[in-house]
């Protein structure tokens, strides 16, 4: 038997890496391009980063996106934790199927349809579209992901621990806060980061549910690209990639440390 990877294995990995990372690498490299043209390399420069920080519209969009992301992720994680607890610990309660179905429906539903239905909902409720409608919509979108992540962790969490806490004098809610929550904290953190990331790069739902004064970064970038590619976009995208990568690595490290402990 030959040990080690075959030529086919190496080729597969190389191809995979190229497909996954080539666009990102190109984007990052061109964000440092001195030339205005996207196709021509004009030498190294950070001028587009400087320009970016002078573009108030872009900065506003970044601010909106971060706030929408943080609030919606927090909402989704809160409600998602409660939903996961109900699904894992609640037994066979009335409406369980509806809740579980709703969670999975959001996961598989095309975003366009989700966006459209949310738009109809806000219009029929007479809510003016803006910051809070995008935030709520993103919470809806990311709730399903958060629920699934937390549910998976909770399912393997020993319910005897919570019983032990109750046995030692904790009312059920306190037993949850003092014992279960610390136990599932890594999953809750991971769910928040996932929700935040999803909100950060959502364009479709934001386009349906946003209103004046609440333009998110992906919306701003999309409209800018339609008028021709501005190298500032490369710069902002690079920053965005950096932020997301940091989040993902942080989540990974948290999990690793946890695993090393156990």
Partner 1 sequence: MDPGADRTLSVRPQIGGIRDTFAPWEDATARPLVRFDHVSKAFGGVSAVDGVDVSIYEREFFALLGPSGCGKTTLMRLLAGFETPDAGRILLEGRDIQDDPPHRRPVHMMFQAYALFPHLNVAQNIAFGLKRQGLGKADSAARVEEMLALVRLEGLGRRRIDQLSGGQRQRVALARAIAPRPRILLLDEPMAALDKKLREETQFELMSLQQSLGMTFMIVTHDQDEAMVVADRIAVMREGRIVQVGRPAEIYEAPADRYVAGFIGDINLFEARVTHSENGRVKLASDEGLFEAEGAGPVGKTAWVAVRPEKITVLTERPADLDRDAPNVVRGEIHDYGYLGDWTTYMVRMASGRTLRAARANATRALDRPLGVGDAVWLAFQPTSAVVLTR
CA pair distance 48, 34, nearest whole angstrom = 8
Site string for partner 1, 30-59 (x = CB under 8 A): ------------------------------
Is residue 242 at the binding interface for partner 1, with CB under 8 A as the rule?
no
Mention every residue, 6+ apart, whose C-beta is less than 8 A from residue 220: 57, 58, 61
Contact 79/143 with Cβ under 8 angstroms?
yes
* 3-class secondary structure, 213: coil
Does 179 help bind partner 1 (rule: CB under 8 A)? Answer: yes
Residue (84 or 175) nearer to partner 1, CB: 175
**10-29 positions binding partner 1, by CB under 8 A:** none
Which three-class secondary structure string do you get for 87-103? HHHCCCCCCHHHHHHHH
Instruction: List the one residue from 82, 158, 249, 252 that touches partner 1 (CB under 8 A).
Output: 158
| 163 is a contact residue toward partner 1 (CB under 8 A) | yes
d(CA 37, CA 223): 18
What is the C-alpha to C-alpha distance for residues 244 and 193, in angstroms, rounded to an integer?
9
- Residue 160 vs 227, nearer CB to partner 1: 160
CB of 169 to partner 1, least distance (A): 3
Nearer to partner 1, 187 or 221 (CB): 187
Chain residues in the site for partner 1 (CB under 8 A): 158, 160-161, 163-172, 175, 179, 182-183, 261-262
């Amino acid at each position: 038997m030959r040990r080690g990877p075959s030529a086919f294995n190496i080729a597969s990995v190389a191809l995979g890496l190229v497909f996954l990372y080539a666009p990102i690498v190109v984007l990052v490299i061109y964000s440092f391009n001195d030339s205005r043209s996207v196709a021509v390399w004009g030498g190294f420069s950070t001028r587009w980063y400087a320009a970016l920080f002078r573009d108030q519209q872009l900065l506003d969009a970044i601010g909106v996106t971060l706030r929408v992301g943080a609030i919606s992720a927090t909402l989704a994680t809160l409600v998602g934790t409660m939903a996961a607890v109900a699904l894992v610990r609640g037994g066979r309660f009335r409406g369980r199927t509806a809740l579980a179905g709703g969670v999975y429906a959001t996961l598989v539903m095309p975003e366009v349809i989700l966006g459209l239905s949310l738009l109809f909902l806000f219009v029929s409720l007479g809510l003016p579209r803006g910051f809070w409608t995008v935030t709520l919509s993103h919470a809806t979108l990311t709730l399903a992901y958060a629920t699934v992540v937390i549910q998976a962790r909770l399912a393997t969490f020993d319910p005897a621990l919570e019983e032990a806490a109750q046995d030692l004098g904790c009312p059920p809610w306190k037993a949850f806060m003092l014992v279960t929550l610390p136990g599932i904290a890594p999953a809750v953190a991971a769910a928040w980061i996932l929700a935040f990331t999803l909100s950060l790069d959502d364009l479709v739902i934001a386009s349906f549910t946003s209103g004046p004064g609440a333009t998110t970064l992906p919306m701003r970038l999309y409209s800018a690209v339609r008028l021709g590619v501005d190298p500032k976009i490369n710069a902002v995208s690079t920053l965005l990639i950096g932020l997301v990568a940091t989040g993902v690595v942080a989540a990974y490290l948290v999990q690793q440390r946890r695993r090393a402990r156990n």
